[in-house]
Amino acid sequence: MERPRILVVGGGFAGVECARRLERKLAPIEAEIALVAPFSYELYLPLLPQVAAGVLTPQSVAVSLRRQLRRTRIIPGGAVGIDAKAKMVVVRKITDELGAEPYDYLVLAPGSVTRTFDIPGLDEYARGMKTLAEAAYVRDHVIAQLDLADAATSQQERISRLQFVVVGGGYAGTETAACLQRVTTAAVKRYPRLNPNLIKWHLVDIAPKLMPELGEHLGDRAMEILQRRGIEISLGVSVAEVGEESVKLTDGRVLPSRTLIWTAGVAASPLVNTLDAETVRGRLAVTAEMKVPRFDGIFSLGDAAAVPDLAKGDGAVCPPTAQHAQRQGKVVADNIIASIRGQQLKPYYHKDLGLVVDLGGADAVSKPVGVELTGLPAQLVARGYHLMAMRTNVAKVRVATNWGLNATAGDDFVRTGFQARRPAALKDFEYTDSYLNPDQVREFTKNLIAKR
């Protein structure tokens, strides 16, 4: 009898945690395990703003898959379509060739992409903070604006290059604005021709509160910290139009700016649209055991799935956080093992342990197990949590060393020329135009089966 084939799609928190647990709890003779991932690392996404700020090197948050997975076959590419009838996943390899991987059990953890809206100029001029390449690009771009402003002969050009707009008042946007504002504040000392008062950071969000998940007190405290640093916060406002040299807001203001960093939420990976399944706000509807109804052997979790939040009840679904993704990965692995062994599946239940927000330096707000902290105690909790959450000792040492080096030696302001003179739109980094439609998927797998 052939071993069942378990195919995990996604090399993020959910997918890697699932594969790790499958390796530990399944004997090699019980199943074959494969993982589809476009990169050879698991990205520790919560620390991406610190990569953009240069506090951490890109390698620090790129946790090697091959250090974590010993016998899982790693397929270098991205899943771009699912044929549930044929039980095959179409994979676009990193060479851009199309192939297909068969499965008996499929774990869909493709994560999410940056959520965008039909705003003129957004697709062309917005920069995201969802991938490692985007963080490296944003850092280069911000430092380039300082260099160009320093060399500018026009005051109008200088002003537009020194104003930066971050859209999104959640964790990603708030931490990005906080970390990068610290960089430009420190960097301007190396540019004697620049007036520090010309550097302005704007944080914009349509919501009435900053990071409402933290609660009113901590959210207000975070806003006070940012405003004290000089970051202008506009709530209840969004972007109406984006140009090469300006950002127009819905309240009528036009900000002269050549930098728009877009972090206004996430949407499930376009991969879910290739599966004819029910969705909840774009995420796959799943049972409490994270099975996709009507589809044999398919589980989904993480950002791509609307997993019922049994701890909250009342139809709530789990938020797209790393904390939930990692724990869901373990439960899905256990449920696949139970399916193989003919045992009963168990539902996912996890009560949120709290939240941490690193605002750079000694500034932070945290809420571990319901206890509200600010300042240095909150920063210690935040950084301690991140170190514990990283899955390899090498990654922990790299991050801790980088923090220590930055604290003692300060920031560097080197522009590497990453992606200089090349397109840098959201789709160029997140490959959102790489997916097939359902008809293309069926046609590809049909032809592939016929050739065999």
Query: Who's near 213: CB < 8 A, 6+ residues apart?
Result: 319, 355
Q: Measured between alpha carbons, how far is 101 from 75 in angstroms, rounded to an integer?
A: 9
pLDDT band at 426, cuts 50/70/90?
A: confident
CATH 3.50.50.60 fits 5-114+267-352+429-446, yes or no: yes
**pTM exceeds 0.85, yes or no:** yes
Distance of alpha carbon 39 from alpha carbon 430, whole angstroms: 12
* 101 membership: H or E segment, kind and range: strand 98-102
Sign of torsion, CA 147 248 134 213? positive
CA angle 292, 41, 45 (to 5 degrees): 75
Let me know if domain 122-264+354-415 sits in CATH 3.20.20.60.
Answer: no
Distance between CA 14 and CA 21 in Å, rounded?
11
C-alpha gyration radius of the chain:
23
Q: Is the pLDDT of residue 240 over 90?
A: yes
Instruction: Label residue 216 by pLDDT band (50, 70, 90).
Output: confident
pLDDT band at residue 425 under the 50/70/90 scheme: confident
Say whether pLDDT at 33 is over 80: yes
Specify the DSSP class assigned to residue 162.
Answer: T
Residue linked to tokens 């039909």 = 118
Same CATH fold, 122-264+354-415 and 5-114+267-352+429-446? yes
DSSP 72: P
**Per-residue model confidence (pLDDT) at position 337:** 98
Q: How confident is the model at residue 451 (pLDDT cuts 50, 70, 90)?
A: confident
pLDDT confidence of residue 278: 96
Q: Which residue in 54, 68, 53, 59 sits closest to 16, CA to CA?
A: 68
Q: In the 8-state DSSP scheme, what is residue 148?
A: H
Rounded average pLDDT over 226-247? 96
Contact in structure between 367 and 214 (CB atoms under 8 Å): yes
Average pLDDT, the chain: 94
pLDDT exceeds cutoff 90 at 410: no
pLDDT, one tens digit per residue, over 267-312 is 999 999 999 999 999 999 999 999 999 999 999 999 999 999 999 9
The pLDDT confidence band at residue 423, using thresholds 50, 70 and 90, is low
Q: Where are the alpha helices (DSSP H) in 37-195?
A: 48-52, 58-61, 65-68, 122-125, 132-151, 155-161, 171-187
- Reduced to 3 states, what is the DSSP secondary structure of residue 283? strand
Tracing tokens 């050879």 back to the chain, one arrives at 40
pLDDT at site 231:
97
Rounded distance, CA 264 to CA 128, Å? 9
Q: What digits encode the pLDDT tens for the residues 103-113?
A: 999 999 999 99
pLDDT attached to residue 168: 95
> What does the domain layout of the chain look like in residue ranges?
5-114+267-352+429-446, 122-264+354-415
Tell me the pLDDT band of 1, cut-offs 50, 70 and 90. Answer: low
Query: Mean pLDDT across the stretch 399-427?
Result: 85
pLDDT score for 411: 84
